[in-house]
Amino acid sequence: MPETLRGLQILLAGGSGGLGSATAELLAAEGARLVVSYRSDAERASRLAGMAALVQADLTAAEDRKRLLDAAPEIYGLVVFAGDPARAGEGAVMEDVLRRSHEQNYLGPILLAREAAERMRQRGTAGAIVLFSTMQAVSLFPGSTAYAGAKAALLQAARILAKECRGPANIRVNVVCPGVTAAGMAQASIASGKYDRYIGEAIIPRFGRAIDVARAVRFFLEPDSYITGQVLTVDGGLTL
């Protein structure tokens, strides 16, 4: 793509991990002005210090969301990577896991998206919002209730926001659903061998890479895009 994002301010919320870092590198190479938030791992976030302004923020806290948006006063694009794997392992109380998943995977991200959209409206910015769901929200995987339920709700809320933002505001809202990607939350599952059979049975040619997801995000951020309210599953065909 041409460097159509050069000079535009883009906020990568929770963007200090594997998927966020790959996206930051891709956007920074094009000249976008980046703000990246992290919840607690300042050391990991510091690797992006040369290409982005860094802000510590918990998206479930209203004051943190405001401070984060204040750090991007000319926001054109918002990408929300933040989330929690919400694994209900041995000894875990399902109710506690469900509550944490609701807050981290749905409540914080969708509130930030709505608040960012309102700031774009106030500035008259025809911006772009990209939210992250998961392949588990578009296909059924046993044992994924806590994670997939909140991510499916986020997907639906994102499409509603897209409908609310169409027309004169022209703020586009889309969703990326990564599959088994060798970065971010899925790394633990890959290491455990949970998805090896998909490779062994040639259902997918390889596990996903962070750049596969970063390119999907870049696609949705294109300023002249005619796409909104859509869901792009980046999983190599696994959920087929």
Distance CA 19, CA 209 (A): 9
Helix (H) or strand (E) holding 120: helix 108-123
- Secondary structure of 1-61 in HEC code, one letter for each residue: CCCCCCCCEEEEECCCCHHHHHHHHHHHHCCCEEEEEECCCHHHHHHHCCCEEEEECCCCC
Catalytic site residue from 76, 147, 195, 226 = 147
Neighbours of 116 (CB within 10 A): 25
| Residue 147 is a catalytic residue | yes
Structure tokens at 237: 């065909």
Residue 228, helix vs strand vs coil: coil
Distance CA 181, CA 235 (A): 8
* Residues labelled as active-site residues: 147
